[in-house]
Amino acid sequence: MKTLARLALAAAAVAFAAAIMGSWTRITGDGMSCPQWPACRLAAGTVWEWLHRALVALELPLVAAVLLTAWRRHRAARFIPATGLAVLVLFTVQVALGAATVHLANSPMSVVWHWGTAMAFIAALLSLAIVASFDPAAATKVEALPRLSVYALAATSAAAYLTMCVGAYVSSSGAGLACLSLASCAGNVVVTDAGQFVQMLHRGIAAVTLLLGAATLTLCLRATPHIRSLASLGLGLLFVQILLGLFNVALHLPLALREAHAANAALTFIIYITAIILALVDRSRVSLLKLAA
C-alpha cells in the first residue's frame, strides 16, 4: 500500500506542475504556439508548450503505474477500486480536453473544463494516496472530527473549486479588468455587461469562500493537529488569494501576478481537499475501532 501511496502522490505532484505550466502557456499566449495536437513544431516560441506537454507525457506512465498497483491492491480497501476508476476516467477526459482547448483556441468554456478537470484529477490522486497510506493496524487512538466541521470543510472545498472555475472563465474571457474599482464595478453594484457580471460573480464567490474558510477554522480549532493546521493554512492562503486578486486589478494583470493567482488558487483547493479527505479517513478509523471493541 505504501508503494501505491507514493505513486499516487508523485502523480499528483506532476499533475499540479502540468496544470501550472498549462496556465502559464495560456496567459502568455504560448498555448496556441502549437496549433496541432499532440504534435508540436520545433521553434523557440514553443518551449513553454513543449514543457507543458512533456509533463503530461511524464504523467502517463505514472498514472499507468498507479492504476496497475491499485488493481493489484484492490482488495486491501473498498475505496481503492472506485478511486482508481475515477483517476482513469478523469485522466482520459483531461487529455481529451487538452486537445479540445487547442482546437477551440482556448475558448473560455474549454479552459474552465480543462482546469476544473485537472483539479478534480489531482483530488482523486490525493484521495488514493491518503487512503493507501492508512494502516488499519495503527488505528488505536483517533478522534473523529465532528460532523458539522466535516460539512464546513466540504463546503469550503466546494466553494474554493467553484471560485477557481469562475476565475478561469474570467481570465480566459478577457474579463480580468472588466471592473477596475474594488468594492463595486464602474461605480455600480448591479451590472449588465457580461464581462462585468462574471467578474463580480467571481468576487462574490471569493468573499463567500473566505467567510467559509474563517468559519471552518473556528470549527476545527479543537480538531486533530493535522486538520487544524490545514484549516489554518487554507485560511491563510485564502487571504493571500484575495490580495493577489486585488493587486492583479490594481496593476492591470501583470503576467507573474496572474500566474501566482492561479497557482495559489490551486494550492488552496488542494489544502482543503486534503483536509476533508483526512477528516473522512479519521472518521472511518473511529468506525473501525468501534467495530473492533
- Residues 192-210 pLDDT 10s: 788 888 999 999 999 999 9
CA 49 vs. chain centroid, Å, equals 21
Q: Which residues of 146-180 are buried (b: 16+ CB within 10 A; e: fewer)?
A: eeebbebbbbbbbbbbbbbbbbbbbbbbebbebbe
What ranges in 104-183 are assigned the alpha helix state H?
Answer: 108-133, 147-172
Q: Is the dihedral of CA 174, 34, 30, 266 positive or negative?
A: positive
pLDDT of residue 196: 87
State the cell numbers at 135. 494502516
pLDDT, one tens digit per residue, over 10-31 is: 999 999 999 999 999 888 887 6
Q: pLDDT grade, residue 103 (50/70/90)?
A: confident
Q: Is the predicted pLDDT of residue 289 greater than 50, yes or no?
A: no
Q: To 10 degrees, the CA torsion angle through 77, 269, 170, 183?
A: 150
Collapsing DSSP to helix, strand or coil, 238 comes out as helix
Question: What span, in angstroms and rounded, lies between the C-alpha atoms of 15 and 2?
Answer: 20
Contact 31, 25 (CB under 8 A): yes
Question: What span, in angstroms and rounded, lies between the C-alpha atoms of 137 and 127?
Answer: 20
pLDDT, one tens digit per residue, over 217-254 is: 999 998 889 999 999 999 999 999 999 999 999 999 99
> Considering the entire predicted model, what is its pTM?
0.91
Contact 118, 11 (CB under 8 A): no
Average pLDDT over residues 136-148: 69
Mean pLDDT of the residues in the chain: 88
The percent of residues in the chain predicted with pLDDT above 90, rounded, is: 61
Average pLDDT over residues 64-79: 85
Type of residue at 143: E
Query: Averaging pLDDT over each range in 41-55, 175-189, 239-253, which range is the top one?
Result: 239-253
Question: pLDDT: is 130 or 285 the higher one?
Answer: 130
